[in-house]
Structure 1
Amino acid sequence: MKISNSRRFSLALLLSLTCFGVGNVHAQQVLRVSAIPDEAPTELQRKFKPLGEYLEKKLGMKVEFTPVTDYAASVEGLTKGKLDMVWFGGFTFVQAKIRSKDQVIPLVQREEDEKFKSVFITTNPSINKLEDLKGKTFSFGSESSTSGHLMPRSFLLNAKVNPDTDMKRIAFSGAHDATVAAVAGGKVDAGALNISVWEKLVSQNKVDVKQVRVFYTTPGYFDYNWTVRSDMPAELRKKISDAFLSLDSNNPKDKEILDLQRTLRFIPTKADNYKAIEVAAQQAGLLK
């Protein structure tokens, strides 16, 4: 049986499109998600599981959560195309924005992230204000943490306290809950972490507030958001945004998800919201 030239061309085109489609379908049928490791990996997995299941239903595609070893890995994963969406802090978003040359887009944030705060904690009765930290030992969270390092450092500098020269020793615990453990265990005189994790640990009786106390709470600043790569199809970006924005705390199933994310609702966000974070990072010499 002879195949005409036009028929042969049609078959070749169909084959090429099919082969191309296999790769694309695989890429688009799995949403690869991660988050900065600001808490223990088991806690991050626990928090994301109901949200991941919800997104799968809303998007009609598989959602895979992949934990990363450190903050830098979350930035690398998104900017190198290994991840599609990441829960960033304000500083890690700025790092991803700069490293990718503006090829990332913040979609949504929790309502609380418009005016997020850090707390400074201690067990030392002689520490009652930021200036009292001179000559003391101190722990930040991760070096790339907004609420555990960048903004606490910024407020320290504003108070004329240079952590690198005025303190006896500084350390980086790697995560907010680890900072609390370091302070409570007497490894350092004081530390800084995000207020959300602090309040969660207090509510779960995982910290003795008679021993560990907050002595300074920062003013509010923009922080966490869910960010995607700019080459994600606009239709998928909208579906993801709509899914987050439609979560309703009056719906019991949605409330479970929102409670785990420690918020009442998600709201839209934009890159311009994080310009102050970028300026603070530049002033602190943390942008490389």
Structure 2
Amino acid sequence: MKRISFFACLILLFMQMSAAAADKPLIRFGVIPRYNPLVMYKRYQPIMDYLTAETPYRFELKISRDYPEAVRFLRDGTTQVSSLGDVTFAEASTQYAAVPILKPRNRDGVPYYRSAIIVRNDSPLKDIRELRGSTVAFGSPHSTSGNLIPRYLLWDNGIGLRDLKSFTNLQHHDAVAKAILKGQFDAGAVKDVVAEKYKTHGLRILAWSAPIPAVPLVVRKDAPPDVVKALTTALLKLDRKNPAHQKMMQTWDDEFRYGFAPATKEDYQGIFRMIRDIPHGCGIGCHK
């Protein structure tokens, strides 16, 4: 009987907590499709739960079907904040003056990441300059670390797209890594956390890019100041050296589990320059 009463109390408490969260104003948090939807929900829903608990708002995850949709969602007000890539932020900034407010730190505590060119362990390729005449898989045309940065890296080493035997854009970083493992391409481009993950599955890193400003959390320029303040306060107080924070963030996406730093548009000027400098920009024809 006591056991039944205990579980009844737990259920009642859960219902009260759920009702309290439901009474809060709704904020939709957009995310570009970095992985398949199931993985996305697994890695980002815990962040929504934390923000709902730590702010006066109820945060709901909104995953876009592709990168342009994430930009449209923020532009149209479907989402109020969004985790974009550097290139998609450049698009949002150009289209409607979207504003970056935060950027995640990496495992070393600095707000940068890198792009990697990966090959199979048994590949004869030893240097990025040997990719001339090879087949290469890039990420989405709107991806920073999967498309823009590796194209810039190739260009900086004297290799244009026409110098490749062929190239293809795939939607997700994991899809690129798996295609290389299957031998469908000679090399591929992914972000650092994906490259590191697949090092134990038969891939190695052929080349690294220079550090890239971490992917920004972005709002519209007319975002309510109270929402921005609540969001930034909740995320900036996270400390990767705090055992309780560290344990909680272990369930978060790899890019978000080490805390955050403030972000400004000036942090991404190098991305804007790359888009201008590379022939045909990032290849999607939206940056003229």
Q: Deviations over 1:204-243 (max 9, x none)?
A: x5x22xxx21111111121301111121111210110011
Q: Name the SS for the 2:212 alignment partner.
A: coil
CA contact (8 A) 2:87 2:143 kept: yes
Instruction: Kindly report which structure 2 residues correspond to 1:151-190, keeping only aligned pairs within 5 A, or say none.
Output: 151-163=149-161, 165-190=162-187
Q: Deviations over 1:72-100 (max 9, x none)?
A: 11111111211111111111111110011
Among 118, 134, 149, the residue aligned to 2:147: 149
**Which deviates more, 66-75 or 256-265?**
256-265
Would you say how many aligned residue pairs link Structure 1 and Structure 2? 253
Provide the C-alpha distance between the structure 2 equivalents of 1:42 and 1:173, rounded to a whole number of angstroms.
Answer: 18
1:273 aligns with 2:285: no
Q: With structure 1 as the length reference, what TM-score do the two structures score?
A: 0.83
Among 103, 126, 131, the residue aligned to 1:109: 103
Question: Cα offset for 1:264?
Answer: 2.1
Among 75, 80, 96, the residue aligned to 1:84: 80
Provide the C-alpha distance between the structure 1 equivalents of 2:253 and 2:176, rounded to a whole number of angstroms.
Answer: 20
CA contact (8 A) 2:154 2:160 kept: yes
- The one-letter code sitting in structure 2 at the alignment partner of 1:198 is A
Provide the C-alpha distance between the structure 1 equivalents of 2:62 and 2:105, rounded to a whole number of angstroms.
Answer: 25
1:243 is matched with 234
Provide the C-alpha distance between the structure 1 equivalents of 2:60 and 2:238, rounded to a whole number of angstroms.
Answer: 20
CA contact (8 A) 2:111 2:260 kept: no
1:75 is matched with 71
Question: Cα offset for 1:250?
Answer: 4.3
Provide the C-alpha distance between the structure 1 equivalents of 2:217 and 2:249, rounded to a whole number of angstroms.
Answer: 14
Aligned CA-pair RMSD? 1.8
Q: 1:116 to 1:43 in 2, by over 3 A?
A: same
Q: Which runs of 5+ in 2 are unaligned?
A: 1-21
Q: With structure 2 as the length reference, what TM-score do the two structures score?
A: 0.83
Provide the C-alpha distance between the structure 1 equivalents of 2:216 and 2:248, rounded to a whole number of angstroms.
Answer: 16
Question: Cα offset for 1:182?
Answer: 0.7
Provide the C-alpha distance between the structure 2 equivalents of 1:98 and 1:114, rounded to a whole number of angstroms.
Answer: 23
CA contact (8 A) 1:141 1:173 kept: yes
Q: Deviations over 1:95-125 (max 9, x none)?
A: 110011x1x2111111237331111111263
- The one-letter code sitting in structure 2 at the alignment partner of 1:182 is A
Q: Deviations over 1:32-60 (max 9, x none)?
A: 11211122221111111111011011222
Q: Which runs of 5+ in 1 are unaligned?
A: 1-25
Identity of aligned residues (%): 26
